[in-house]
């Protein structure tokens, strides 16, 4: 894109301020700016008012409970193992986040959760995977989504650690797409005078980014029918758990979600429920107080918290493409250029635009809520201290026999 085209392109979108410093830039910086403008998805900021849209009618959802699962685990597991042995299931690790709450400088997966030895989150998760591949006798394709900010360090870390013993040809890294950040009026920020402010587009960007990266060809070539998507921060989670896979497939649904019984109404997890009769997830900060606190026979009515471990049918995931996922506005302090100078505000000054994996569940139409045992499978490392922190995750790992 040359200057003239960029100018008319931005005029149509009300974003010409991005060219404010163009005349003062070096030829090289001009090129970088025009390239950024070309890849920026401006449609994300055109309808800020429709983001964070109103919800439909919320009702509770029933789950296949821990007890149900115990009773039928052999049957579920055998179906799941059949699918794994046939190579029909792959996994996607979401490692594109910035882990700002943890305050760790670098990819979160490199964080040391060991005590007497260095045990990275990545290594612990790869050990969890080994339990499954030993049982099934086959390695599944593992797609790892990184961001522009942490990709090189993440890939380098896997290389240094010889891919934690996993076959190299089964691990595929890809970089998450970006979305612009903007002020409260939808004007896109400049990160520097020659760079548009672009940030990872939220964890809902994982599938479109996978497709855009060209890796979908591997799924087509190898007939991968299901993808187990999981987060980088739960060190106890089971990945490609055959029992979960079998339960979802036998139920005949298009996706499954591993859920955990909330410890109390205030626990900060998204809740799986029905919205206008279809499975849907309401984030904890969007849950109306009266529903959040509602109980029946001493139990929370909306009790199933999501753990960011989902199984999606690949065919149906295509429904989530073509801009169907809404953007959520995350109000943040965003460094940007003001009056020609880059500033780093301490208070929120605009929005990051994020799509969320939770919205994909709604688009699937059906979803199995699969209850897991918290102490065995849910140890998220979100915060430096307090709830869901390094200390709580370490305790749970030790309870499960992991030497730290
Ligand atoms: P979180 O929602 O906890 O975000 O991510 P985060 O960026 O890791 O942490 P905070 O909120 O800044 O403290 C849940 C999962 O989604 C991934 C994360 O890496 C984590 O596995 N994620 C999040 C992405 O892959 N890309 C994103 O843009 C955001």
DSSP string spanning 326-390?
PPEEEEE---EEETTEEE--SS--EEEEE--THHHHHHHS--EEEE--HHHH--B--BSSSTTBH
pLDDT digits (tens, 9 = 90+) for 144-174: 999 998 999 999 999 999 999 999 999 999 9
Cross-strand partners of 182: 188, 351
- In this predicted structure, the answer to whether residue 189 has a pLDDT above a threshold of 70 is yes
Residue nearest to atom 25 of ligand 1 (CA): 96
Packed helices 27-39 and 3-12: angle between N→C axes, nearest 10 degrees:
40
Rg (CA), the chain: 22
Instruction: Give me the count of residues in the chain.
Output: 404
| Mutation probe of ligand 1 site: the residue of 44, 93, 97 with most atoms within 8 A of C-beta | 97
Q: Is the CB of 306 under 6 A from ligand 1?
A: no
pTM for the whole structure = 0.93
Section 57-66 average pLDDT? 95
pLDDT at 49: 62
Section 60-70 average pLDDT? 96
In angstroms, what is the span from residue 95 Cα to ligand 1's centroid? 7
Q: Is the CB of 234 under 6 A from ligand 1?
A: no
Residue 199 Cα: closest atom of ligand 1: 28
In angstroms, what is the span from residue 203 Cα to ligand 1's centroid? 6
CA–CA separation, 265 and 51 (whole Å): 26
In angstroms, what is the span from residue 200 Cα to ligand 1's centroid? 9
Section 237-253 average pLDDT? 97
Please list, in sequence order, all residues whose beta carbon lies within 8 angstroms of the beta carbon of residue 67, skipping any fewer than 6 positions away. Answer: none
Q: Quick count: other Cβ atoms within 10 Å of Cβ 80?
A: 28
Q: Is the CB of 203 under 6 A from ligand 1?
A: yes
In angstroms, what is the span from residue 180 Cα to ligand 1's centroid? 17
Residue 94 Cα: closest atom of ligand 1: 25
In angstroms, what is the span from residue 183 Cα to ligand 1's centroid? 22
- In this predicted structure, the answer to whether residue 50 has a pLDDT above a threshold of 60 is no
Residue 248 contacts residue 89 (beta carbons within 8 Å)? no
Q: What are phi and psi of 25, to 5 degrees?
A: -85, 155
Q: Quick count: other Cβ atoms within 10 Å of Cβ 153?
A: 13
CA–CA separation, 171 and 269 (whole Å): 30
Helix (H) and strand (E) counts in the chain: 14, 20
Residue nearest to atom 7 of ligand 1 (CA): 97
CA–CA separation, 142 and 164 (whole Å): 13
Residue nearest to atom 15 of ligand 1 (CA): 231
Q: Which of 70-74, 103-107, 186-190, 192-196 has the lowest mean pLDDT?
A: 103-107
Please list, in sequence order, all residues whose beta carbon lies within 8 angstroms of the beta carbon of residue 288, skipping any fewer than 6 positions away. Answer: 58
* DSSP SS3 for 254: coil
pLDDT digits (tens, 9 = 90+) for 195-242: 999 999 999 999 999 999 999 999 999 999 999 999 999 999 999 999
Which long-range contacts (C-beta less than 8 Å, at least 24 apart) are formed by 1-7?
1/34, 1/35, 1/37, 1/38, 2/34, 3/30, 3/34, 6/34, 6/37, 6/38
Residue nearest to atom 23 of ligand 1 (CA): 97
Section 290-300 average pLDDT? 94
Phi-psi region of 377 (alpha: psi -120 to 50; beta: other; left: phi over 0): alpha
CA–CA separation, 269 and 380 (whole Å): 11
Q: Is the CB of 145 under 6 A from ligand 1?
A: yes
Q: Is the CB of 237 under 6 A from ligand 1?
A: no
- Mean pLDDT (the chain) is 94
- In this predicted structure, the answer to whether residue 52 has a pLDDT above a threshold of 60 is no
pLDDT digits (tens, 9 = 90+) for 105-139: 899 999 999 999 999 999 999 999 999 999 999 99
């Amino acid at each position: 894109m040359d200057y003239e085209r960029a100018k008319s392109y931005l005029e149509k979108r009300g974003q010409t301020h991005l060219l404010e410093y163009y005349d003062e830039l070096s030829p090289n910086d001009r090129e970088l700016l025009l390239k950024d403008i070309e890849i920026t998805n401006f449609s994300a900021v055109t309808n800020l008012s429709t983001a964070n849209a109103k919800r439909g009618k919320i009702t509770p959802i029933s789950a296949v409970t821990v007890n149900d699962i115990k009773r039928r685990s052999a049957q579920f597991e055998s179906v799941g193992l059949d699918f794994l042995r046939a190579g029909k299931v792959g996994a996607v690790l979401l490692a594109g986040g910035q882990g700002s709450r943890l305050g760790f400088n670098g990819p979160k997966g490199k964080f040391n959760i060991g005590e007497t030895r260095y045990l990275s989150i990545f290594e612990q998760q790869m050990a969890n995977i080994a339990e499954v591949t030993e049982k099934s006798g086959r390695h599944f394709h593992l797609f790892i989504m990184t961001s522009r900010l942490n990709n090189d360090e993440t890939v380098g870390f896997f290389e240094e650690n010889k891919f934690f013993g996993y076959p190299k040809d089964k691990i595929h890294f890809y970089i998450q797409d970006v979305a612009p950040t903007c002020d409260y009026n939808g004007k896109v920020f400049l990160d520097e005078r020659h760079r548009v402010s672009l940030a990872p587009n939220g964890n809902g960007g994982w599938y479109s980014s996978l497709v855009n990266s060209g890796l979908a060809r591997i799924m087509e070539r190898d007939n991968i029918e299901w993808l187990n998507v999981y987060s980088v921060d739960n060190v106890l989670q089971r990945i490609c758990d055959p029992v979960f896979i079998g339960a979802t497939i036998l139920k005949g649904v298009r996706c499954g979600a591993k859920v955990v019984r909330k410890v109390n109404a205030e626990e900060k997890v998204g809740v799986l429920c029905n919205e206008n009769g279809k499975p849907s997830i309401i984030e904890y900060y969007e849950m109306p107080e009266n529903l959040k606190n509602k109980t029946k026979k001493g139990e929370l009515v909306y009790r199933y918290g999501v753990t960011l471990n989902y199984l999606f049918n690949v065919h149906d995931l295509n429904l989530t493409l073509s801009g169907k996922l809404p953007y959520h506005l995350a109000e943040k302090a965003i460094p940007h250029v003001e009056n020609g100078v880059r500033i780093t505000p301490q208070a929120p000054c605009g929005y990051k635009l994020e799509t969320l994996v939770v919205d994909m569940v709604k688009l699937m139409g059906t979803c199995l809520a699969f209850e897991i045992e918290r102490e065995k499978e849910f140890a998220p490392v979100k915060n430096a201290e307090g709830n869901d922190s390094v200390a709580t995750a370490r305790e749970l790992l030790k309870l499960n026999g992991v030497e730290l």
